[in-house]
Amino acid sequence: MAKKTIANVDVAGKAVLIRVDFNVPLDENANVTDDRRIRMALATIQSVLQRGGRVILMSHLGRPKDAPDAKFSLKPAADRLAELLPGTNVIFAADTVGADAKAKVAALKDGEVLVLENLRFQPGEKKGLADFAAELAAFGDVYCNDAFGTCHRTDASMVAVPQAMAGKPKVCGFLVEKEIKYLTDAIANPQRPFVAILGGAKVSDKIMVIKNLLGICDKVLIGGAMAYTFSLAQGGKVGKSLVEADKVDLAKELLASGGDKLVLPVDTHAGDDFKADCNKMVVNSGEIPDDYEGLDIGPETAKLYADIVKGAKTVVWNGPMGVCEMPPFDAGTKAVAEAIAESDSISIIGGGDSAAAIQKLGFAEKVSHVSTGGGASLAMLEGQKFAAVELLDEA
């Protein structure tokens, strides 16, 4: 799946249209509270600037209703980017393909950066409309996809824009290159033992991931609330735990096909209410009292999973083991994160809660790769092909 990168293109004197993922959290004063996604795009942006090109950035932020909405403006992200690129002229366009954007694209000089207003202020973005895509495509001499978090989508900026740039270079940025390298190459040819750890609330969210990974992993460890659906499928008692009763038959199928590859919790940390100061007990899996609910894997499971992880050569983790934002029910997630950080494996952390936990615990520098895209990383673990990546130029 090797694709040409921005490093393979002569950008001197050219306008490079880069799809980035600046979908960053903002506080009530419109300040960026976590700039990681902006920082992850810096290498690609600087590569163009240092080689004499000019950069036009497009991104979405939040879920506006296909119309301008001040609280979803990309202006705060543009301001933060300017702080991260001292000495570089970072300009903001008040619209996406309107008069202001067109005037500022025309006036843009080599070595400068222009940030277009939120793509999703335009109905053509989510609908993938060709006319809207053509207006964006006209801005660039080169198309660059560095937005892994939206690679599984078919929005105009991801698919129709590069399609409209026939005959022009279409490449990936360094972030997308890295994501592809880890999430496809490492999984296609894993060093073994290859262990996957899957958590989160719903079996239904991860059916295809579990099926795909059972075919290629040596062990698939299950945590989070979806473990209780598996427990129910085995005839266990799950009390008030979050379960998907309509997915019990599916869980039985996965148990049958997975055999000893599919590893379930042996004990559960349960509480009588969904709060930190509830009454707590550790029970064997499948033995949760009627008035209690499972809120984390138990200590024996945490030790079992840590031991399996420590012997692995490739580890993929997506989804917390329990209610990781509420101590003491974060202990299982912490134990797994620590075991991954201490192992000498190639370790790939899926986006979302797993990425947040690794960052919060200070282990981000001790793992091989923390993905920037929750939904996209899950889709790639399912074995999906992405149109937004497929149409980029082959290396």
Q: Residues 224, 352, 373, 374: which is the catalytic one? A: 352
- Quote the CA–CA distance of 157 and 2 in Å, as a whole number: 21
- Catalytic annotation on 375? yes
Q: Residues 75, 102, 202, 252: which is the catalytic one? A: 202
| Residues facing 154 on adjacent strands | none
Please give the order of strands across the beta sheet that includes 293-297. 280-284, 267-271, 293-297
- Quote the CA–CA distance of 146 and 329 in Å, as a whole number: 36
Q: Is 311 helix (H, G, I), strand (E, B) or coil?
A: coil
The pairing of strands 314-318 and 346-349 is parallel
The pairing of strands 280-284 and 267-271 is antiparallel
Q: Residues 37, 54, 104, 247: which is the catalytic one? A: 37
Q: What percent of the residues of the chain are helix, what percent strand, and what percent coil, each to the nearest 5?
A: 40, 15, 40
Q: Residues 98, 111, 375, 383: which is the catalytic one? A: 375
The helix or strand, by DSSP H or E, that contains position 18, with its residue range, turns out to be strand 15-19
Q: Is 218 helix (H, G, I), strand (E, B) or coil?
A: coil
Q: How far apart are the first and last CA of the chain?
A: 9
Buried b / exposed e over 292-303, threshold 16 CB at 10 Å, is bbbbbbbeebbe
DSSP 218-282: SEEEE-STHHHHHHHHTT-EETT----GGGHHHHHHHHHHHGGGEE--SEEEEESSSSTTS-EEE
Nearest to 122 by CA among 134, 135, 137, 132: 132
| Residues facing 349 on adjacent strands | 317, 370
CB 120 within 8 A of CB 72: yes
- Quote the CA–CA distance of 395 and 393 in Å, as a whole number: 6
| DSSP letter, residue 261 | G
∠ at Cα 280 (238, 303), nearest 5°? 80
Q: Is 86 exposed, middle or buried (0-12, 13-18, 19+ CB in 10 A)?
A: exposed
Which residues belong to the active site?
37, 202, 352, 375
